[in-house]
A and B are shown apart, each in its own frame.
Chain A
Amino acid sequence: MFYSIRHVTRFRYSSPVRESVMELRMQPRSEGPQSLRSFQISTNPRAQLYAYTDHAGNAVYHFNVLRAHEELRIEAQAVVEIFRTQPLPEAADTLEWDRYNVYNLNDDHFDLIEPSRYTEFSPALKAFMAEHGLDQPKGDPLSALKALNHTIYESFEYVPGVTQVHSLIDHALEIRRGVCQDFAHIMIAVVRKWGVPARYVSGYLYHRPRSDGKRERSAQSADATHAWVEAYMPSLGWIGFDPTNDVLADERHIRAAVGRDYADVPPARGVLKGVAESELAIAVSVEPTSAPIRHEDFLRIARPMATPKPTPSMPERLYHQQQQQQQ
């Protein structure tokens, strides 16, 4: 399955600002069943882009705009291919719990067991866990995680706008409403409390028209950016859970970045100088697309290769011959 993703972010300022510095985590990851086929970022005003891979393996782009500007526009375009994977077993065996040990987990897994800022084990979370009998996981890890996924889906109402980007889980826990980011943080906090490595996934979701006419909850959101959870099982690897939609992550979930929580992987974050009101506009589209044409198929052979006789001045001559004829 191929998807074409277009992610446009626009900042507008009421008066000119300067020295914008931005960092972007928008490039879909290329690993496992997901493979990145193409990716471009452009900015307006234009800026030199720099990239690095962070410690979690996310591709990070960053740039700065020194001179005064009243608008900053970032457009990212990607094509990814997602392979259908073997369905998971219904349940894991209960011995799986014993496999959470130093032989099966590495340092990164251990790092993802520690609470982080947005996944603190707060009194409100403790109460939530007690209320739903989540103090101890029931059954094997996979069944327990699926049940938790469902519990969170059932316990919260999907309402955009009631929580903010920097809301701690207590806010959503109190009002029992929120969006994917809140649900993912709550699920991660519970999973880590159980001693299972868990990470936050920032990405995109393709909302497929469903035959039963129902829409997924997250389809109500204004754009197709999405967040869900991955939990680690020693014998099955990382498994994606989407508590917002009560499903396991599948070939419609496009992963862009992973981290301990939202703070590690915001799609865009920046700092600027200036005193101005700002407006943020975001548009994201995820569309199925046909397989991108490979270069080999696209290219037309304009002049077949000949085998020139070797001559002493050949390198220079070859250079001249390779200037393409204008037609």
Chain B
Amino acid sequence: MTVAAAKAARPGLDAPFTKYALSSAYDEMFSPDGTVRAHYRTLHTALAALPPEELYRRQQACELSFLHQGITFTVYSDKQATERIIPTDLIPRLITADEWAHIEKGLKQRIHALNLFLKDIYNDGRVLKDGLIPRSMIYGSKHYRREMRGLSVPHDAYVNVCGTDLIRCENGRFAVLEDNLRVPSGVSYMLTGRDVVRRAFPDLFQAMRVRPIDQYPRELLATLRSLVPFHEDASIAVLTPGIFNSAFFEHAFLARQMGVELVEGRDLLVNDNVVYARTTSGLKRIDVIYRRIDDDFIDPLIFRGDSALGVPGLFNAYRAGNVVIANALGTGVADDKAIYTYVPRLIRYYLSEEPILDQIDTFRCREKNSLSHVLANLDTLVVKAVGESGGYGMLVGPHATKAQRENFAEKIKADPENYIAQPTIQLSTAPTFVEGGIEARHIDLRPFILHGEETRLVPGAFTRVALKRGSLVVNSSQGGGSKDTWVIGDGA
């Protein structure tokens, strides 16, 4: 064993890691002194043993497989190509059983608290009366749906599918970066990525006793069924905005995997307060809608009247209890980046527990002291608009030009309540196959939490990777890639 360790390929020195640069960021594979972390040894040995041409060939096979399966993502701002494959890296990202146990416990705690928070603000408003959160933050939020006030949702589960973004900080600890409580996407890349990468390293996959994730569609179906009585007969549909949506592939994929209808708004209609799907054999009643359309567009009668994507009358059917919509409406008020800063307090308030997962120190620009600090330190901070997601409307201070920073400062000054700022976090790096070699690239982690009658997680996640050297932006909409995430079994 000592011999093997001495011969291990070192980062920055030995092939295939000659261009592997360790930085101040936590590296998943190597300790700062260049030794290989224990749980990465098997993978490291396998990679070192493979000739570069063979790695390249397997990477090519992966990409082809994605293209053939039509696993694509649409990038809106890109003028070149609208639909592209999500570049999936060959090399899996590893998480130990202990790390996963910690993450799972922390995320369950978090979704529990956030659901209680949503129930509270749409009913008694205890948290507001107790002064924990400023009222203007809720009532001023564009995602607060007054229509949801006093409505009860099955099992008090507002968020049925949650995708939480975690990162690993320089100290090696996982921290929550943001919660996605509206219509989080990415789970199809987790599932399809697994199929492809497993085929690239079949022996390794066996040897490391990677925990399975292919039960996710079944678990999702069980969660959706748990929202109605007589679950077994429940008729379920996935509601998609349509083929031009960036995540259409995922909507179709999940519907197919669950064996349920995939519908667009125009395929549904509401008659006498009941929702029906138009099918070739007539109207079919729908009991549960797994919607992948934003609140604003879901019902033109109640929300945006110009929405052509929604179903007129859907909300009233929902209010009457004739259909369940998952996730519930109005969950966006709780994944607002400003509410994020209060989540640790919410956990203590609702659960009387200490938060299990860390989160990033955040400055709320609505507070005067923070605002002046933020404006003075724009070059070191990441500033985000509170109501936006997907990497839009943000400034990465250290990577922005002076003009961009000045421009952004004006926006912040004009509407400070709309912005928060965080220190530039060094996302952890992981070995990634780029340009014929293995280099370190920044990654995050998005596990998916299912919450209905009970809370479930499959041991896996969508790991996003920033493919540009040094880049910290991992969003798929900004051209990030994905990595398969292997939660390895005990004692592997």
Which A positions have Cβ atoms within 8 angstroms of B? 19, 21-23, 48, 50, 52, 54-56, 62, 64, 66, 102, 107, 110-111, 113-115, 264, 269-271
CA distance A237 to B100 in the complex (A): 55
Q: Which of B20-74 contact A (CB under 8 A)?
A: none
Q: Which residues of the partner chain A approach B312 to less than 8 Å between Cβ atoms?
A: 19, 21, 64, 271
| B140 pairs with A114, CB closer than 8 A | yes
Sorted nearest first, the 8 A-B pairs with minimum C-beta distance are: A271-B312, A55-B149, A21-B312, A21-B313, A114-B139, A110-B135, A111-B139, A107-B125
CA distance A64 to B139 in the complex (A): 31
| B270 pairs with A55, CB closer than 8 A | no
Given A19-B312, A21-B313, A110-B139, verify A271-B269 contact (CB < 8 Å): no
Q: Which residues of the partner chain B approach A102 to less than 8 Å between Cβ atoms?
A: 129, 131
| A107 pairs with B313, CB closer than 8 A | no
Shortest B397–chain A CB gap in Å is 30
- Cβ contacts B296-330/A at 8 Å (1 or 0 each): 00001110010000001100100110000000000
| B305 pairs with A271, CB closer than 8 A | yes
Given A55-B150, A111-B146, verify A50-B301 contact (CB < 8 Å): no
Task: Give the number of residue pairs across the A-B interface with Cβ within 8 Å.
Answer: 62
Shortest A276–chain B CB gap in Å is 16
Residue B273 lies at the interface, judged by CB distance under 8 Å to chain A: yes
| A23 pairs with B300, CB closer than 8 A | no
| B146 pairs with A62, CB closer than 8 A | no
Interface size class of B (residues with CB under 8 A): 20 to 34
Given A52-B316, A271-B312, verify A64-B147 contact (CB < 8 Å): no
CA distance A252 to B447 in the complex (A): 60
- Cβ contacts B130-147/A at 8 Å (1 or 0 each): 010001100110000011
Shortest A226–chain B CB gap in Å is 23
| B140 pairs with A62, CB closer than 8 A | no
| B301 pairs with A19, CB closer than 8 A | no
Q: Which residues of the partner chain B approach A110 to less than 8 Å between Cβ atoms?
A: 128, 135-136, 139
| A62 pairs with B313, CB closer than 8 A | yes
Residue B271 lies at the interface, judged by CB distance under 8 Å to chain A: yes
Given A107-B129, A110-B139, verify A21-B301 contact (CB < 8 Å): yes
Given A52-B316, A271-B301, A271-B305, verify A64-B136 contact (CB < 8 Å): no
Residue B232 lies at the interface, judged by CB distance under 8 Å to chain A: no
Q: Which residues of the partner chain B approach A114 to less than 8 Å between Cβ atoms?
A: 136, 139-140
| Contact among A55, A66, A264 for B271, CB-based, below 8 A | A66
Residue B203 lies at the interface, judged by CB distance under 8 Å to chain A: no
Q: Which residues of the partner chain A approach B150 to less than 8 Å between Cβ atoms?
A: 55
| Contact among A21, A52, A270 for B270, CB-based, below 8 A | A21
- Cβ contacts B106-143/A at 8 Å (1 or 0 each): 00000000000000000001001101000110011000
Q: Which residues of the partner chain A approach B139 to less than 8 Å between Cβ atoms?
A: 110-111, 113-114
CA distance A168 to B272 in the complex (A): 34
CA distance A19 to B312 in the complex (A): 9
Given A23-B316, A55-B147, A114-B140, verify A50-B273 contact (CB < 8 Å): yes
Interface centre among A48, A64, A113 (most CB of B within 10 A): A64
| Given contact pairs A50-B320, A64-B313, a sample of 7 additional A-B residue pairs in the complex whose CB atoms are under 8 Å apart | A19-B312, A21-B312, A102-B131, A107-B125, A107-B129, A114-B136, A115-B140
| A52 pairs with B146, CB closer than 8 A | no
CA distance A110 to B140 in the complex (A): 10
| Contact among B125, B131, B272 for A64, CB-based, below 8 A | B272
| Contact among B129, B146, B273, B302 for A55, CB-based, below 8 A | B146
Given A62-B313, A111-B146, verify A48-B272 contact (CB < 8 Å): yes
Find the B residue at minimum CB distance from A259: B146
Q: Which residues of the partner chain B approach A111 to less than 8 Å between Cβ atoms?
A: 135, 139, 146
Q: Which of B262-309 contact A (CB under 8 A)?
A: 269-273, 300-302, 305
Q: Please, could you name 16 A-B residue pairs with CB atoms under 8 Å apart, sorted by A?
A: A21-B270, A50-B320, A52-B320, A55-B147, A55-B150, A64-B313, A102-B131, A107-B128, A107-B129, A110-B135, A111-B146, A113-B136, A113-B139, A114-B136, A269-B301, A271-B300
- Cβ contacts B240-281/A at 8 Å (1 or 0 each): 000000000000000000000000000001111100000000
